[in-house]
A and B are shown apart, each in its own frame.
Chain A
Amino acid sequence: MGRIVGIDLGTTNSLVAYVDSPTGQPKCIPGPYGSTLCPSVVSLDPDGSVIVGEAARRRLLTQPERTIYSVKRLMGRGPADVQSELQLFPFRIDPQSKNVIRVMLGDKMFTPPEISAFILRELRNWAESFLGEPVDRAVITVPAYFNDAERQATKDAGRIAGLEVLRLVNEPTAAALAYGLHEKQRGHVAVYDLGGGTFDISILKLISTNEGDIYQVLSTNGDTHLGGDDIDNLLQAFVHKRIRETEDLDFSPHGELAQDLRKSLIAAKHELSEKVSVTLRFALPNGKTFVHNFSRADFEALIKNVVTRTMGPVKQALADAHLAPSAIEEVVLVGGTTRTPLIRRTVQEFFGRKPHTELNPDEVVALGAAVQANILERGVSNMLLLDVTPLSLGIETYGGAVSKIIPRNSTIPASAQEQYTTGVDNQTGIDIHVLQGERELARDCRSLARFTLKVPPAPAGFPRIEVAFLIDANGILQVAAKDMRTGEEHSIEVQPSYGINDTEIERMLEESIEYAEQDFAERQLIEARTESEAILSATIKALANPQSSEIGATERAHIEAAIAALKQSVTGTDYKQIRKRVDELNHATEHLAELLMNSAVSTALAGRNLAEV
């Protein structure tokens, strides 16, 4: 079996991390551009190939109709749920599809789990290239406030990407795990996680026991549709309005111009975390330039509502944990949006203490996922996570009311058993409607599933069926039924209200293989050859440089031997051999590289190889 990695499948960026075996420290894996952040953007090329990450992000401007971002906002939702989102996002969804969202990229349609699977596959490729071994299992993080359907969709994405998802871990919990290792904290911890599209607050208790450390989540709350995207939307709406007023120019959220403007606004937003004012300049199609000076105060007034919206869940989570803000010993900030000074200030004022920001807020969740992957890989560990279900589980009762059977913030796995019988003679089925949410009426809660319990014909009130509802450690519902009179177990086919069924997932898995790149070894070989080409051409160029005469004949012969060895290995298919020869050549040319550099910069570049110079 291959390695288990930790994956943060984010709204804006996704990351993959692993635990380094000699040091035991979690690390994020860089991609081909050297960054550990993989933009969660997918683009379908007209030639049929799928492009993910930085390259796809660039296509947001040139091919907006074939490119999608922030797909996480669509996970586990139905077409009716996302109508308001579509006002500002340039997604085109298939109007024919009733229960399942299908996004159109060019002329092809994909479900949100399929699009997320492309991102997961890309990260899997990063990990396999970096670790030099196959990766087939993963721990994936989800917002703590994700409901059953959103979690199921994430798990489906993993399956479509050919990954066995060993565990879904809540993002704030993962962050606490990464911080706990880092800071050796004890006591009550609040994790405030504001990312690109989701907000979570979790209250944890860190306990030391003889067996090891326990991370017990006491309560969690949040909003799965609140994040940096909302700030961007506010900025965009503000500037659109200004341009409309001053230039009488209207543009739809679709298309190149809006994307271009959005990109400039995001850059301005990032700058405002460091500076107190920023001037936005944007070239308009009428030849004029739109200029607007944003002060941090203006910006803060504009986004105040987003920050305020996070505080309701924070208060609720504390109330559910029966704690006052002053009882929280440590506050941890997670997610790129928490770089915003207004957010840092608001959180600090509320809890009366300075929040932790030592770890990179973009990486901390992936690092925690890697820690959990490592715990699961080893089987027995000195760390244990006890998480909770964010929403109450209920069943619809007479008159459209909801009877809560597993309350929110119950430690998972959690279960509840309900007894059912019939109301009329020879009734053959009992309809059961399972919901998630805190409201009293079924129509205000999230419908998870409907199913009919089959009953053998009997007088009314005679059948006794026990239905067991179980929320597993991933926060996903399982249902089983048992006939109490015969002891017979019934398997229940639960048709998810908004999800995709098993057969469809199998089909998607097969189709996704068509889009997948070559298999692992083949890809490794291509990468190793590309790498050797780069070092070979750099070395040959360096040897032709007159300055290279300063190296002695022995050294030159040594380098030439390494070149010959590498050239020879490239003709074969053993990528490990090629890698080894590349390393050898790099080593042989270290002195030459140093020599060729200007003495002033040589110290700064020491240790770099020729291809990098």
Chain B
Amino acid sequence: MDALEQKFLQLSWKLHPDNFVNTNEREREMSLQRSSRLNDAYRVLRDPVARVEYLLELEGMRKEGEHKQQAPPELLEEVFELNESLDELREAKSAGANLDGLTLKLRVAEKSFGEKLHEVDAEMKTAAQQWDAALDANASESDREAILQRLNELLNRRSYIRNLVAGVEKELQGASC
């Protein structure tokens, strides 16, 4: 069990509404508020992506719920190709044509973007570790700023690729039905 989970469980014992059924209304309300905040916090902190999003919000780098939908320049070519294949698939579907060739092509693309997603996740993990190290080492503001910029950029790239993969999945599901 990691330290985060251990702390979460410890606090759950203290704050959970089950322990306050026989107390007054004020205490019950406080338990409800605090245990919900505890659960909200744990939900964010145990998910690496949500955790980075939250950090960037705290540092004023990002507004809540903000997602930039810009294609990362190095992916432009591949994305262009993917969108073309998706259009072809839609056309082929409405024309009732054979979809086998196109689905195969899209599956390959889907796999490639899936791998890129893993790469981004790994890079994000490294950047997050750099952030922790920078804090521990009392690094300069500009150094910290640079890491946050990097995390923000990775987060945007991640959300962009994820949407792409989800879009392909949706079209492929429709094709296999």
- Which residues does A use to contact B, with CB under 8 Å? 166-167, 207, 209, 211-212, 214, 375-377, 379-381, 384-386, 403, 407, 410-416, 470-473
Contacts and interface: CB of A to CB of B under 8 A. Distances in A.
Interface in B1-54: 1, 9-10, 12-13, 16-23, 32-33, 35-37, 39-40, 42-43
6 contacts: A375-B18, A381-B18, A386-B16, A473-B17, A473-B18, A473-B35
Please report whether the interface of chain A is mostly helix, strand, loop or mixed according to DSSP: strand
A186 to B, nearest CB: 13
Please report whether the interface of chain B is mostly helix, strand, loop or mixed according to DSSP: helix
B19 A379 contact: yes
A384 B39 contact: no
Given A375-B18, A386-B16, A413-B17, 8 more contacts: A167-B21, A209-B9, A377-B21, A379-B19, A379-B20, A380-B19, A381-B19, A473-B35
B17 A472 contact: yes
B21 A166 contact: yes
Nearest to B19: A380
Contacts of A381: 18-19
Given A209-B9, A384-B16, A384-B18, A410 B43 contact: yes
Given A375-B18, A472-B17, A214 B12 contact: yes
Nearest to B35: A413
Contacts of B23: 379
Contacts of B35: 413, 473
A415 B9 contact: no
Interface of B: 1, 9-10, 12-13, 16-23, 32-33, 35-37, 39-40, 42-43, 65
Contact of B32 (A166, A403, A407, A472): A472
Contacts of A379: 19-23
A518 B12 CA distance: 43
A472 B13 CA distance: 16
B39 A410 contact: yes
Nearest to A1: B22
Nearest to B32: A413
Contacts of B36: 412-415, 470-471
A376 B23 CA distance: 11
B43 A209 contact: no
Q: Which of B1, B13, B18, B21 has the most CB of A within 10 A?
A: B18
Contacts of A415: 33, 36-37, 40
B97 to A, nearest CB: 28
Contact of B43 (A167, A386, A403, A411): A411
B12 A416 contact: no
Nearest to B20: A379
Contacts of A214: 9, 12
A375 B21 CA distance: 10
Contacts of A407: 43
